[in-house]
Amino acid sequence: MNKKVLIICGSDSDLPVMNDTKKVLEEFGVEYDITISSAHRSPERTKQLVEKAKEDGVKVIIASAGMAAHLAGVVAGQFSLPVIGVPIQSGALSGIDALLSTMQMPPGVPVATVAINGAKNAGILAVQILATSDSELENKLVEYKKKLAEGVESKARKL
């Protein structure tokens, strides 16, 4: 079975944050690959990864990067399916620069952008995208959302 999601981290320093994405995908049984590539330091590698993702039938790419954070945009410029950007908290601006670089894309090249260090939501969004054509995955999401609601109800009862 082909991997449905490719996670590309701009740096190995992103890995601790991106572990939350991996956990979500594993919880839902979604196959993925994870690797490191930089839009600036290894642009040819990034291009090759996107081309291989297309060939391998990847349906969603999740790209994380801090500071200048051009990785998700570069990937979105080469990949016709959904790209989710995870801005990483780093540098002098604590991730604000990464957030703006990830979300401020030109018309025609969208990047779905989650919160700074929002790796868990990136995983959930990828699952939601895949669930549009996978009823088993959709059912798992319904159960997941029910558990979230039950958790809130449980905490409210304790007050």
Check which CATH number belongs to the domain holding 98 and give it. Answer: 3.40.50.1970
Q: Phi-psi bin for 87: left (phi > 0), alpha (psi -120 to 50), beta? A: beta
Tokens of 50: 């996107």
Whole-angstrom distance, CA of residue 70 vs CA of residue 60: 17
- Residue range 60-77: mean pLDDT, rounded: 95
> Which one-letter amino acid corresponds to residue 156?
A
Locate tokens 């979604």: which residue?
30
Please report whether residue 140 resides in a domain.
no
Please report whether residue 105 resides in a domain.
yes
Please report whether residue 156 resides in a domain.
no
Does the pLDDT value for residue 1 go beyond 80?
no
Please report whether residue 57 resides in a domain.
yes
Q: What is the pTM of this model?
A: 0.95
Please report whether residue 150 resides in a domain.
no
- Residue 25's pLDDT is 98
Based on the structure, what is the number of domains in the chain? Answer: 1
- Residue-number span of the structural domain to which 50 is assigned: 5-134
Please report whether residue 143 resides in a domain.
no
Per residue in 35-58, pLDDT (tens digit) is 999 999 999 999 999 999 999 999
Instruction: Report yes or no: 56 and 67 within 8 Å, Cβ to Cβ.
Output: no
Please report whether residue 70 resides in a domain.
yes
Instruction: Report yes or no: 85 and 103 within 8 Å, Cβ to Cβ.
Output: yes
Tallying the residues shown for the chain, one arrives at 159
